[in-house]
A and B are shown apart, each in its own frame.
Chain A
Amino acid sequence: MKTTKNILVSCALLVCAFTFTSCEKDDDKKPETPQAPSNPKEVITTVTLLMEDTLGNLVTASWKDADADGPGAPVITGLTLKAGMHYDGAVLLLDESKSPVDTISNEIAEKEAEAHQFFYTAEGGANSRLIVEREDKDKNNQPLGMLIHVDVSAGGSAAGTLKVVLKHYDGINKSTDPAVGETDVEAVFPVTIQE
């Protein structure tokens, strides 16, 4: 009898200890009640190119991917430029998943120009026809590329692409080599050159 009692008492003690130690996290959230996603993280959903020709006409193009890094397909509106025309342009980065829409490019220009750089590459039929120059510099006198000047050479109609790349330099120096740095944006715009 005494043995049984001893065994029972020790079991009871152990069970108490166990219950006590395992209760501490019971108040936590339950798997059955997921929270509505609240995303404080900024994502770039949209790249917009705004160009103004020497006559004051505005041309825009946009590259929009609502699910950012996700598998959903982007919606792209190409750029139509005139042969022999000169344009002054700017690139705009937006987070349209937020309301109101967050203009991320403003933040980069104001606070983080030293850690970012835009690159522009004309490809295909636009390769020999477009000259893109980056107009703005950061505090260290390094190119930023948020403001651009585009010369379209005279000639016939052509079709190609303009690739806009935003590189981010995290702890490393800005480089003229577009292979250096992490890619934040890589948007390829179809370009149509009209005679």
Chain B
Amino acid sequence: MLCAGLCFASLIKAEKNLPKRFSLQVLVVDSNTQKPLEAASITLAETQWHAITNLSGMVKADSLLGGWYTLQCSFVGYHAFQQRIWIESDKQIRIELCPESEHLHEVEIVSHSDELRDYTVQTRTILSAQEIERNRGITFVDQLKQLSGVTLLSTGPAIAKPVIRGLHSNRLVTINNGVRQEGQQWGSDHGTEIDPFAPASIEVIKGAASVEYGAEAMGGVVRINAKPYMDVKGINAELQLMGASNNGMGAGSLQMEGSHFDRHKLSWRAQGSFRKAGDSRTPEYVMSNTGFQEMSGQYGLHYAYKGFHADFSQSLFTTEMGILRAAHVGNRGDLLNAIQLGKPAFIAPFSYQIETPSQQVSHLISSIKMWYGFNSQTKVHIQLSRQFNERAEYDRPPRQSQRDLFNTVPAYQLLLTTDIVEAKLEHQLLKNVRGVVGVNWMNQGNVSEGLQPILPNYRAYTYGIFVIEKWQRGRWMTELGIRQDWRDQTRFIYQNGIQSNAMYYSGLTYSIGAAYAVNEYLKINANSSSAWRPPSINELYSYGLHGGTATFEIGNPNLVPERSLNSEIGLVLHHSKWTGEFNLFRNLFHNFIYRLPNPVPTITIRGSFPMMNFVQDDALLQGAELNLTRYLNKSFSAGVNASYLYAQNTSDNVPLIFMPANRARFTIAYQKEAIWKIKGVFVNVQYNYVAMQSRFPKGIDIIDPPAAYGLLDLNAGCETHIGKQPIRVSMSVYNMLSTSYRDYLSRLRYYTLEPGINFLLRLTIPITIYKPS
């Protein structure tokens, strides 16, 4: 958060019981010494409330109604602080004020957080627990659509992955509760394997973040943070239930957490969830075999004593998903027939049944984290993790006699085991220079099985070392980061005995950035970074048939690492009437690796098949993102959110294929702290417009990109009590007008429309099980 300086602050809420009125406790400390500041002035602009911190830097406001407040804090000799905060429960906030003499008004609001503070001058956006709860949809990544510059790559309603500024799969890193999630990121039909109930906050870094996160983070990072451990003694639980009309989804999650003892603090949390859904429905027909069934569980234990913390956690995610039955074709001619038909060739009545083609995935992550703060500037972190990712994909048999075989033996099965060891040291070199130095090691092995394995077995070792230093003074902040990575990867195949091919790659990554605060409200940041990525195993060696797109994918063993030079400039505005963000980015690639359908089809016994080859070209991805909200008064706000992307193959001077179309979203929101006995009322209406992708290489894909579309969504919710039990209710209506549309980044666009109207209802019931008096 250092980077984001005055503006972004993670509002991690310590949720407790919901009384009718809430209390707000504020602790003010000096950002350097971390010592409490006595007699700092605190006001809430919307009320007449004003107070002065006590000897221990604390102040408490009682009986606040829920809603938006503008929190202002000032103290002689320090930069003043202002931030809009949302109160919906008792809240504890810590404000770090910066001395005027030293550096930029850099403020943080932090609750009890285990994570390292991040060290980049970059565009990052945080979805808070509340935003997540109100926008929870069919998949985890549905939430990310709200962010400008983020779109989805999908294969039906249950399988989706994020695309950040045109980059996805192997170019994004997902950090799940501090651990880098390693699955089969490469396939467009491999969704992000995350339980939608698990994240308490989601942080998205747009643009290269390779210095801190390694080579694959050249397109960005999606960080999923679990709920922070409880800070106060007691035991709480939270039950969440959710239903969706379109696919008949029922979902629930029960989470429990507790904290015990004073000196040797032991905290824990545990969560279990399930989701089951049937076929989705377009406005015109049922998308047969698009149901899914998911079970997840996780738990964590946290021990703290003085500056020492240890955390052990495990999480398991399992899912079984159907793939649209009609998206299984024999050859290119069949695909053309399917396109001509305009609707799926197989439509059955709605059902929860999952048949082949289908996928089964399980992902188990175990991790131990330990950190120790020698003082407020020096902190050491060590993290060990092991994860198993098992993916099985089942195909449909060409003949009934093969049905048992195809139902029991997957077309391919991949078992990926990844061990990661990371160590980081946060330090302060000079008065104004702070930084982090880190090392990491990763050992990854894949075992492929099945009727027609698409990937070979492999073993990959990755080693990295990095340092990031940050200098801050007055309104300025600059940052410099450098990283070196080595990868040693070997493929093993059986061809008249075991054959192995070893490949060795190494590369340097660096980034430089600066931020300047123009005034209290406006900050400018700019950064430039050069990142590299070695070709991944699938790009080098994949070999197999994709039934859904009637393509045969062949890796290219001659690929060399790609390199990018990413530059961006951003403006961040945080005013009580206006908030917003504007970013311009330009990402230049040398040897950009991508899939390109070969326009000359290959002749097989099933007729002609297009080959999908991996090719390398120089490329340019540049664009802009705008995010602006105007608070009209206490209740009403209006906002716009737009993203533009220009992606060009600069070697051949043609557009890059399969890039997200430009889009904009307009929102009108209403919020009221209380209407009669109902609290925290909110309603918002959104219109999402997605333009047609007019920039694509002509004649390569079998059809041109689909037409532009606009969707209307509605979200609403409130908090109330049933007896003494507080309860939060929210609902969403997606695609309210049941618009028929197809999306360019949906792999099923050849066969089917996207889902029609979907009504979602969510209930959250916080339960206090034990609270010491």
User: Interface on A for B, CB 8 Å cutoff?
Assistant: 3, 6-7, 10-11, 14-15, 17-18, 21-22, 25, 28-37, 39-42, 44-47, 63, 65, 68-71, 73-74, 104, 107-108, 111-112, 115, 165, 168, 170-172, 179-187
Interface membership of B400, Cβ < 8 A: yes
Contacts of A181 in B (CB 8 A): 334, 345
Q: In chain A, what residue has the closest Cβ to B338?
A: A179
Nearest CB of chain B from residue A8's CB, rounded to whole Å? 11
| Contact (Cβ within 8 A) B399 A34 | no
Q: Known contacts A18-B384, A112-B399, A182-B328; decide if A74 and B405 are in contact (CB<8 Å).
A: no
Q: In chain A, what residue has the closest Cβ to B289?
A: A171
| Contact (Cβ within 8 A) B498 A33 | yes
Of the listed stretches B300-308, B690-698, B749-757, chain A binds: B300-308
Interface membership of B330, Cβ < 8 A: yes
| Contact (Cβ within 8 A) A70 B552 | yes
| Contact (Cβ within 8 A) A184 B498 | no
Q: In chain A, what residue has the closest Cβ to B382?
A: A11
Contacts of A104 in B (CB 8 A): 399
Interface membership of B314, Cβ < 8 A: yes
Contacts of B333 in A (CB 8 A): 183, 186
Identify 8 new A-B residue pairs, CB closer than 8 A, beyond the known A11-B370, A65-B603, A181-B345. A31-B445, A34-B457, A41-B452, A68-B604, A168-B399, A179-B340, A181-B334, A184-B330
Q: In chain A, what residue has the closest Cβ to B602?
A: A71
Q: Known contacts A30-B447, A31-B446, A71-B611; decide if A22 and B386 are in contact (CB<8 Å).
A: yes
| Contact (Cβ within 8 A) A31 B447 | yes
| Contact (Cβ within 8 A) B330 A168 | yes
Contacts of B348 in A (CB 8 A): 171
Q: In chain B, what residue has the closest Cβ to A180?
A: B345
In chain B between 315 and 331, which residues have their CB closer than 8 angstroms to a CB of chain A? 325, 328-331
| Contact (Cβ within 8 A) A10 B303 | yes
Q: Choose from A44, A46, A69, A115 the contact partner of B552 (Cβ within 8 Å).
A: A69
Q: Known contacts A42-B402, A69-B552, A111-B401; decide if A22 and B459 are in contact (CB<8 Å).
A: no
Main secondary structure of the interface of B (DSSP, over half): strand
| Contact (Cβ within 8 A) A71 B554 | yes
| Contact (Cβ within 8 A) A3 B312 | no
| Contact (Cβ within 8 A) B312 A17 | yes
In chain B between 348 and 377, which residues have their CB closer than 8 angstroms to a CB of chain A? 348, 366, 368, 370
Q: Choose from B334, B340, B409, B498 the contact partner of A183 (Cβ within 8 Å).
A: B334
User: Interface on B for A, CB 8 Å cutoff?
Assistant: 264, 301, 303, 305-306, 308, 310, 312, 314, 325, 328-331, 333-334, 337, 340-341, 345-346, 348, 366, 368, 370, 384, 386, 388, 396, 398-402, 405-406, 409, 415, 417, 445-449, 451-452, 456-459, 492-494, 498, 500, 543, 545, 552, 554, 602-609, 611
Contacts of A168 in B (CB 8 A): 330, 398-399
Q: Known contacts A17-B312, A31-B459, A112-B399; decide if A182 and B602 are in contact (CB<8 Å).
A: no
Contacts of B452 in A (CB 8 A): 39, 41
Q: Choose from A28, A32, A182 the contact partner of B415 (Cβ within 8 Å).
A: A28
| Contact (Cβ within 8 A) B498 A70 | no
Q: Choose from B314, B325, B399, B415 the contact partner of A21 (Cβ within 8 Å).
A: B314
Listed by A's residue number, 7 A-B pairs whose Cβ atoms lie within 8 Å are: A3-B305, A29-B447, A31-B445, A32-B457, A41-B405, A45-B605, A182-B398
Q: In chain B, what residue has the closest Cβ to A76?
A: B603
Q: In chain B, what residue has the closest Cβ to A39?
A: B451
Nearest CB of chain A from residue B609's CB, rounded to whole Å? 7
Per the bound structure, the CA–CA distance linking A14 and B606 in Å amounts to 56
Per the bound structure, the CA–CA distance linking A45 and B401 in Å amounts to 17
Q: Known contacts A28-B415, A182-B334; decide if A172 and B345 are in contact (CB<8 Å).
A: yes
Most buried by A among B446, B447, B448, B552: B447
Nearest CB of chain B from residue A40's CB, rounded to whole Å? 6
Q: Choose from B449, B552, B606 the contact partner of A185 (Cβ within 8 Å).
A: B606
List the 3 closest A-B pairs by CB distance, nearest first: A186-B607, A183-B330, A31-B445
Per the bound structure, the CA–CA distance linking A193 and B321 in Å amounts to 52
Contacts of A21 in B (CB 8 A): 314, 366
| Contact (Cβ within 8 A) B310 A14 | yes
| Contact (Cβ within 8 A) A74 B310 | no
Q: In chain B, what residue has the closest Cβ to A17?
A: B312
Contacts of B370 in A (CB 8 A): 11, 14
Q: Choose from A18, A32, A41, A187 the contact partner of B459 (Cβ within 8 Å).
A: A32
Q: In chain A, what residue has the closest Cβ to B445?
A: A31
Q: Known contacts A29-B447, A32-B457, A71-B611; decide if A37 and B415 are in contact (CB<8 Å).
A: no
Q: Choose from B447, B494, B498, B545 the contact partner of A69 (Cβ within 8 Å).
A: B545
Q: In chain B, what residue has the closest Cβ to A168?
A: B398
Per the bound structure, the CA–CA distance linking A11 and B308 in Å amounts to 11
Nearest CB of chain A from residue B262's CB, rounded to whole Å? 14
Q: Known contacts A21-B314, A69-B552, A185-B606; decide if A171 and B401 are in contact (CB<8 Å).
A: no
Q: In chain A, what residue has the closest Cβ to B399?
A: A112
| Contact (Cβ within 8 A) B399 A41 | no
Q: Choose from B398, B458, B605 the contact partner of A187 (Cβ within 8 Å).
A: B605
Per the bound structure, the CA–CA distance linking A3 and B307 in Å amounts to 11
Most buried by A among B305, B346, B554, B604: B604
| Contact (Cβ within 8 A) A30 B445 | yes
Per the bound structure, the CA–CA distance linking A74 and B607 in Å amounts to 11
Q: In chain B, what residue has the closest Cβ to A44?
A: B605
Contacts of A37 in B (CB 8 A): 494
Per the bound structure, the CA–CA distance linking A44 and B396 in Å amounts to 15
Per the bound structure, the CA–CA distance linking A32 and B545 in Å amounts to 25
Q: Known contacts A3-B305, A7-B308, A171-B348; decide if A34 and B314 are in contact (CB<8 Å).
A: no
Q: Choose from A14, A17, A36, A112 the contact partner of B494 (Cβ within 8 Å).
A: A36
Q: Choose from B264, B388, B543, B602 the contact partner of A25 (Cβ within 8 Å).
A: B388
Nearest CB of chain B from residue A85's CB, rounded to whole Å? 28
| Contact (Cβ within 8 A) B447 A18 | no
Contacts of B493 in A (CB 8 A): 34
Nearest CB of chain B from residue A77's CB, rounded to whole Å? 14
Per the bound structure, the CA–CA distance linking A168 and B328 in Å amounts to 12
